[in-house]
Amino acid sequence: MTIAASEVLQELDGRGVHLYFDDGQLLALTAKNAMTGEVRQLIERHREELIAHLRDRDGRRQARIAPADRAHPLPLSFAQQRLWFLAQLEPGSVEYNMQTPIPLEGALSVEALTVALSRLVARHEVLRTRLVADVEGVPHQVIDPPSPFDLPVVDLAGRPDPAAAAEAWLAADLAVPFDLAAGPLFRATLLRLAPERHLLAIAKHHLVSDQWSSPILQRELEALHRGDRLPALPVQYADFAAWQRQWLTGEVLEAQLDYWRARLDGAPVLALPTDRPRPPVRSSAGAVLDFVVPADVVEGLRALSRAAGVSMFMTVFAAFNVLLSRYTGQDDIVVGSPIANRNRAEVEGLIGFFVNTLVLRTDLSGDPTFVELLQRVRADTLAAYEHQDVPFEQLVDELGVVRDRSRTPLFQVLFNYAAGGAEGPVGDGPVSMPVKFDLSVALAEAGAGVVGSVQYSTALFDAARMSGFVGHFQRLLSAVAGATDVRLSRLPLLTPGELVDLSRWGAPVVELPPVETIHELIGGWVVTCPDAVAVRCGDESVTYGELWRRSGELAGWLVGAGVGAGGVVGLCLRRGVDMVAAIVGVWR
């Protein structure tokens, strides 16, 4: 099976190479060191299909983005509008703060760096933009005039461990909220670790930047620091926002929405088991746990991807869906996944908030083989790529999603796979950090292997559960790489350590007595060992005799209330001894 052009574009995006067609030429915007020989071969191999696809895609869009009329209030983009709305619900929230630490080695002129930052902020209007609501409460973009940049310098060179001090400083800075109306939404501080070793700590709000913007920012700052002259930008982010508002209306919007209405009709909520009840208002308190997928497993996954005609994203994403299905018992899985969404030539070099989130729904019913699942994932993902123009924020509004402050709309788990290289060491344990979803899994290629991280809500999950989750994912990826024709139900999930524990639990084998119901089995234990502990929860425990007494009282009350076999009884209790007694009572 051949790979579709849209799939090649997504693969290249993951590798830090974004293609666009402009003025009759196939052009590329790349992250640093991303244009490898392998990437060049991939582009050349699919050159004609890529050009045709990009030309057709652009032909379905309006004419080029033009500068907006600055005499009128500048609207927010759809993405900005939703984050602004969320900020009104949770003033002072820091979960959408972003950070880009840039190490600087060698002799450094603070004055030259300050000038470069001033030129960068003058070049990109979005870095000096505030979001201000009018008297009717409607927010607009307000662009402040360029001014000299203020670069504070923090000297950590005298600390016993400058690196640790810098890490603590970065964590504290990330927790400082931005004032969206007062601004600025972009700040930088220079940390001095040694006479010729510095760290430029850049922080910005997600409203003015995204993941793709970070390498643009770093690349242009380096060029401006060298004194290079950069070509003028064709448009600014505010121009894109105004264009988006005008273009994504009428028939264009309806055609895209029709797909998503049909695709997400009746989509279920993912029922991941949690360690604590879900709080009424979603918490951003979270932690991150890093892990590694070994090179031999990655090579097996790559071979499978080539044979099945799919991208690595699709292969690993399919395995992730299997994992979620095992954890939830569901075969209809909904997961979010980010996409660069820079599909206009004019915005390729802009810093700004362009990234979109696709809602991917996977059908695992019928116990297919993994290769069969791959083809389902491939078809669904390509269809989503073709309808990626509707911003997630607008999709939520247009679908009339009921607001629930305890969880994010449409999906609660995010998945991302970056085919490009990853930087930074992999940690040994969970690190505290704000999170936006119940669970976010991100993987990135690093050399011959893959590094990953799981960000999770600590209001819902314990570190031990997430450690087990990671182990099961690693085991599943290893199994998929070596056995593609196995049905999903036969794919192994338990780690070697868990299998050893199971073998210990398996002896001696005890034959169960011939009973028809679970409560009859419990009743048998009441006769043989009434004083043995039947249920333990924390510091509380009850014996079989006491459990039988409590459950019998409830059973008698229910019978007196007219409840009989086949009746439905609702229970509303916290997890614990009383809940078990109530369940047994209903059974009785």
Q: What pLDDT score was predicted for residue 411?
A: 95
How sure is the predictor about 427, in pLDDT bands with cuts at 50, 70 and 90? very low
Per residue in 212-229, pLDDT (tens digit) is 898 899 999 999 999 999
Would you say residue 250 has pLDDT above 70? yes
* 518-587 CATH pick, 3.40.1380.10, 3.30.450.20, 3.40.1830.10, 3.40.50.980: 3.40.50.980
Rounded CA separation 1/4 (Å): 9
319 contacts 445 by C-beta, under 8 angstroms: no
Tokens for 348?
Answer: 């390729």
What mean pLDDT is predicted for residues 349-367?
94
Per residue in 122-172, pLDDT (tens digit) is 999 999 999 999 999 999 999 999 999 999 999 999 999 999 999 999 999
Per residue in 400-420, pLDDT (tens digit) is 888 788 889 999 999 999 875
Q: Which pTM was predicted?
A: 0.72
DSSP 359-392: EEEEE-TT--BHHHHHHHHHHHHHHHHHTTTS-H
Rounded CA separation 69/207 (Å): 21
**Matching residue, tokens 């299997």:** 322
Chain-wide mean pLDDT for the chain?
87
Which fold would CATH assign to domain 78-233? Answer: Chloramphenicol Acetyltransferase (3.30.559)
What mean pLDDT is predicted for residues 363-375?
95
Question: Where do the H-state alpha helices sit in 142-272?
Answer: 162-174, 213-226, 237-247, 250-264
Rounded CA separation 29/212 (Å): 10
What mean pLDDT is predicted for residues 312-322?
95
Per residue in 15-59, pLDDT (tens digit) is 667 676 655 667 676 655 667 777 788 888 888 778 777 766 655
Would you say residue 74 has pLDDT above 50? yes
Residue 453, class by beta-carbon neighbours within 10 Å (0-12 exposed, 13-18 middle, 19+ buried)?
buried
Rounded CA separation 199/103 (Å): 4
Per residue in 559-573, pLDDT (tens digit) is 999 998 888 999 999
Rounded CA separation 225/292 (Å): 36
How sure is the predictor about 506, in pLDDT bands with cuts at 50, 70 and 90? low
Q: What pLDDT score was predicted for residue 428?
A: 39
200 contacts 101 by C-beta, under 8 angstroms: yes
Cβ neighbour number for residue 62 with a 10 Å cutoff: 13
Question: Which CATH class name applies to 281-497?
Answer: alpha beta
Q: What pLDDT score was predicted for residue 285?
A: 87
**Fold match between domain 78-233 and domain 281-497:** yes
Give me the residue spans of the domains in the chain: 78-233, 281-497, 518-587
Would you say residue 421 has pLDDT above 70? no
Q: What pLDDT score was predicted for residue 359?
A: 96
Cβ neighbour number for residue 562 with a 10 Å cutoff: 7
358 contacts 349 by C-beta, under 8 angstroms: no
Range scoring the smallest mean pLDDT among 254-263, 476-485, 548-557: 476-485
Residue 342, class by beta-carbon neighbours within 10 Å (0-12 exposed, 13-18 middle, 19+ buried)?
buried
Helix (H, G, I), strand (E, B) or coil at 420: strand
Q: What pLDDT score was predicted for residue 16?
A: 64
Give me the percent of the chain exceeding a pLDDT of 70: 89
What mean pLDDT is predicted for residues 374-402?
88
Pick from 515, 445, 462, 379: nearest CA to 6? 379
What mean pLDDT is predicted for residues 224-249?
92
Q: What pLDDT score was predicted for residue 65?
A: 87
